[in-house]
């Protein structure tokens, strides 16, 4: 499809935008990876009406005003750098529940800007798209962060070395199976940030730095044992885990079932665990189901793998 056809008013594309796991235990705001499922679906169309028109095809009642909507804010940022484009019509069909901790807002922002970029003949780089999508994350959480956005756009595992200026590194991780449980409670990202300590003891910082470096090294070297040893958070998880019923039991029993390790996905309430193989990932799911069934808390689970592509055209 030529750029001329792509940029004609009325042209449209559809994309799948993936869920993501951010922080990855010790990598608060700097590490993330994309999941093969669940995914959102977005369709975007060029419009001769200025701004962004949003149509929701789900039951989440998300804002229709572009500046208050995660996707809309990201597209408005993109339009600032595309003065020849009047606007877009975005149709959103979300399957990643807002507030679930698996990157619902990032899927919305990333899906919208990647789809728009296809329409515009791929004039923007992936780094540009992350920059636009971060405006959506600011709407969702009050803070521009990229640990969900970057893997959603780049695919795979990503390291955010710096936000200002953006410096994103893709990490060649080994095959990993991911089990996620989403207890049916909501933990707002903005609330989960407010409870964090503003000062950290030096001994805790040193331990955290060692774990982050060990985790990145383990991923690059495809060293599963090192990955498992490094999946420890001494700063964020001890505070945030109190918001998630059953967290400590789920984590300890999943590791006993063979998981390499894991923790809170994003700001929660979802919990993720990494495993070397599908059989272990399914055993981990069974543990998660047993714990939350006994507690009496509704939940959803996903057993999946790392998505290497990110947002993709359909």
Report the alpha-carbon distance of residue 259 to residue 228 in Å, rounded: 8
Q: Could you please report the per-residue DSSP string of 134-148?
A: HHHHHHHHSS---TT
Q: Which of 137, 179, 237, 304 is catalytic?
A: 137
Q: Which of 39, 158, 189, 280 is catalytic?
A: 189
* 140 CB-contact burial (10 Å; exposed 0-12 / middle 13-18 / buried 19+): buried
Decide if 189 is catalytic. Answer: yes
Q: How many CA atoms lie within 13 A of 64 on its CB side?
A: 9
Name the token pair of 147.
Answer: 């640990």
Q: Which residue, chain included where needed, has tokens 């600032």?
A: 80
* 12 CB-contact burial (10 Å; exposed 0-12 / middle 13-18 / buried 19+): middle
Decide if 232 is catalytic. Answer: no
Q: Are 72 and 105 in contact (CB under 8 A)?
A: no
Name the token pair of 87.
Answer: 């606007």
SS3 category, 170: strand
- Enumerate the active-site residues: 137, 189
């Amino acid at each position: 499809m030529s750029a001329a056809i792509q940029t004609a008013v009325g042209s449209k594309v559809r994309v799948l935008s993936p869920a993501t796991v951010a922080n990855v235990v010790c990598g608060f705001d700097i590490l993330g990876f994309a999941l093969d499922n669940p995914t959102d679906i977005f369709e975007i169309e060029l419009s001769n009406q200025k701004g962004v028109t949003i149509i929701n095809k789900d039951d989440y009642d998300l804002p229709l005003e572009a500046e208050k909507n995660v996707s809309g804010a990201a597209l408005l940022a993109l339009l600032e750098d595309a003065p020849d484009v009047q606007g877009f019509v975005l149709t959103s069909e979300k399957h990643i529940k807002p507030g679930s901790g698996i990157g619902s807002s990032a899927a919305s922002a990333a899906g919208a800007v990647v789809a728009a970029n296809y329409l515009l003949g791929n004039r923007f780089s992936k780094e540009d798209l992350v920059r636009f999508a971060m405006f959506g994350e600011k709407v969702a959480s009050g803070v521009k962060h990229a640990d969900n956005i970057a893997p959603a756009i780049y695919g795979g595992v990503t390291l955010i070395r710096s936000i200002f200026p953006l410096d994103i590194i893709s990490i060649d991780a080994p095959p990993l199976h991911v089990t996620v449980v989403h207890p049916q409670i909501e933990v707002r990202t903005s609330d989960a940030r407010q409870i964090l300590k503003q000062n950290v003891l030096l001994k805790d910082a040193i331990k955290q730095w060692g774990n982050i470096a060990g985790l990145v090294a383990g991923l690059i070297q495809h060293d599963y044992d090192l990955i498992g040893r490094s999946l420890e958070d001494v700063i964020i998880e001890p505070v945030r885990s109190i918001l998630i019923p059953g967290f400590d039991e789920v984590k300890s029993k999943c590791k006993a079932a063979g998981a390499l390790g894991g923790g809170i996905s994003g700001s929660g309430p979802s919990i993720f665990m990494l495993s070397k193989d599908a059989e272990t990932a399914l055993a981990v799911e069974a543990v998660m189901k047993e714990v939350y069934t006994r507690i009496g808390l509704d939940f959803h689970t996903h057993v999946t793998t790392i998505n290497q592509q990110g947002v993709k055209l359909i």
